[in-house]
Structure 1
Amino acid sequence: MNIRTTPNPVIRRAGRMLRTLNDRHPWNHNVHFHPWILRSLPKGCQRVLDVGCGAGDLLLALSTRAREVDGIDPDQGMVDTAARRCQELPGVRIHRRTLEEHAAERRSTAAGGSYDAITMVASLHHMPLETALRDARDLLRPGGRLLVATLTTPETAFDHAWDVGNALTNPLIGVVKHPRVAQPTAPAEHAMPVRDPAWSFGELRERARPLLPGAVLRRRQGFRSTLLWQKPAG
């Protein structure tokens, strides 16, 4: 039974109660993984690509750790917002393009395989999976790292149990992060595009294996999973 779509009235009522708690103590599921990404950057990291940079939250954090940071996003509103927020950071460059377009542009200028790290937070499930993983692999230098926080859809009994655990712990994490009840805020100037994931954790692991041998995948909080892969040095 999928708790996200079930018609069961008891579960749906419980879901509404949890959403009320979440609204009182909200937390950003994507920003939550920024510390993990910063800790996981390779030593001496100089050049980073953030795929699906959105409003630029991660770009701002990465700019404190790397000399050059490229952010790409296919949504013009997100690119405009990120550009305004990062306009005082000379090492940050932002482009409106997809990962596939960026990879093609880098290959055409013989600049492929030059990034020390590539990050994706809640963007991988917006792209064709194998193409995105292959492009990211090719854009990394030897020894570079791919760091992904992504959504997946529940498929197995364990997936559904993990979803229930996330639903129950989500408001508790919110209380810890933001003990005070949130006050109403103005809506964002440009809403972030949303898409449901099309593949499960198990499918992500199986489809990533031939492209990224040795990748480490973990189920995480906030209905997210992470993938970490280091490109072989030789």
Structure 2
Amino acid sequence: MDIRRLHHPLVRHAAQGLHTFNSRHPWSHNDHFHGWILANLPARRVAAVDIGCGQGVLVAKLAERFEHVHGTDLDAGMRIEAARRTAALANVTIDDRRLDELAGPVDLITMVAVLHHLDVEQALTDVTRLLAPGGRFLAVGLAAPGSLRDTAWDLASAVTNPIIGVIKHPRPVSGGPVPPPFPVRDPELGFDALQAIVAATLPGAVMRHRLAFRHTIVWTKPALP
């Protein structure tokens, strides 16, 4: 939630002040969750796919832990940066294939701030198709605030954001806000609506609110009898 959109003058003034402060202590809300992903990897680690791999930061980290890692992104600029970052890694493939064009089985599928760009139900159906039994889906996502609980989490994220920024980037930078290098799209589904789709498509999946305006989804495909 962008609290600068709220109309009360005092709220807007405070929000603008926070935005200015945050721009002086920038940090990547998406990269922040890479540690969570690496801490929740499946036991079998042969093949991994990162959907919407961006500049390839997570792909490079996964390449240290899997025999092969496939990063996909529809943005040509992102693919160039990802290919450059992983050029020395022989076990990495970067291309523009869509989720429904991929072939499995794979042991891990990751999405960081990607699911809200896709047809959610179709994307999760493809996840079930691609994962090997025992394989894991790890997603970090965004949802529109649709309840008081969602708004409370967004406010908590707004309050803690500058604290995390100072810890991660203590030396202030100048020049004002820098636009993200990747395509940005506001989420349309609220947390509860998204959770209902996740529960129907990935039975047993765990979806949780997180700080930094994010949520996480964990699902492990059941092993064969």
Does the Cα contact within 8 Å between 1:25 and 1:178 map onto a contact in 2? yes
Does the Cα contact within 8 Å between 2:4 and 2:11 map onto a contact in 1? no
Matched with 1:52 is: 52
Matched with 1:96 is: 96
C-alpha RMSD of the superposition: 2.0
Tell me, in whole angstroms, the C-alpha distance in 2 between the residues paired with 1:139 and 1:156.
33
Shift, 1:183, TM fit: 4.8
Q: Which amino acid aligns with 2:129?
A: D
CA 183–67 in structure 1, closer or farther in 2 if over 3 Å, else same: farther
Does the Cα contact within 8 Å between 1:55 and 1:81 map onto a contact in 2? yes
Shift, 1:3, TM fit: 2.9
Superimposed CA distance per residue, residues 198-218 of structure 1 (whole angstroms, 9 cap, x where no aligned partner): 111111111111110010011
Does the Cα contact within 8 Å between 1:48 and 1:117 map onto a contact in 2? yes
Does the Cα contact within 8 Å between 1:116 and 1:141 map onto a contact in 2? yes
In the TM superposition, 1:1-234 aligns within 5 A as 3=3, 5-100=5-100, 102-103=101-102, 106=103, 112=104, 114-184=105-175, 191-234=181-224
* SS of residue paired to 1:210: helix
Q: Which amino acid aligns with 2:81?
A: T
* SS of residue paired to 2:187: coil
Tell me, in whole angstroms, the C-alpha distance in 1 between the residues paired with 2:2 and 2:58.
31
CA 233–4 in structure 1, closer or farther in 2 if over 3 Å, else same: farther
Superimposed CA distance per residue, residues 136-176 of structure 1 (whole angstroms, 9 cap, x where no aligned partner): 11100000000000011101011111111111110011111
Q: Which amino acid aligns with 1:162?
A: W
Which structure 1 segments of 5+ residues have no match? Answer: 107-111
Which structure 2 segments of 5+ residues have no match? Answer: none
Tell me, in whole angstroms, the C-alpha distance in 1 between the residues paired with 2:59 and 2:77.
16
Tell me the percent identity.
47
Does the Cα contact within 8 Å between 1:2 and 1:160 map onto a contact in 2? no
CA 150–39 in structure 1, closer or farther in 2 if over 3 Å, else same: same
Matched with 1:109 is: none
Tell me, in whole angstroms, the C-alpha distance in 2 between the residues paired with 1:6 and 1:20.
16
Tell me, in whole angstroms, the C-alpha distance in 1 between the residues paired with 2:53 and 2:25.
25
Does the Cα contact within 8 Å between 1:3 and 1:160 map onto a contact in 2? no
Q: Which amino acid aligns with 2:168?
A: K
Tell me, in whole angstroms, the C-alpha distance in 1 between the residues paired with 2:106 and 2:120.
20
Does the Cα contact within 8 Å between 1:2 and 1:154 map onto a contact in 2? no
How many pairs align?
224
Q: Which amino acid aligns with 1:215?
A: A
TM-score normalised by length of structure 2: 0.94
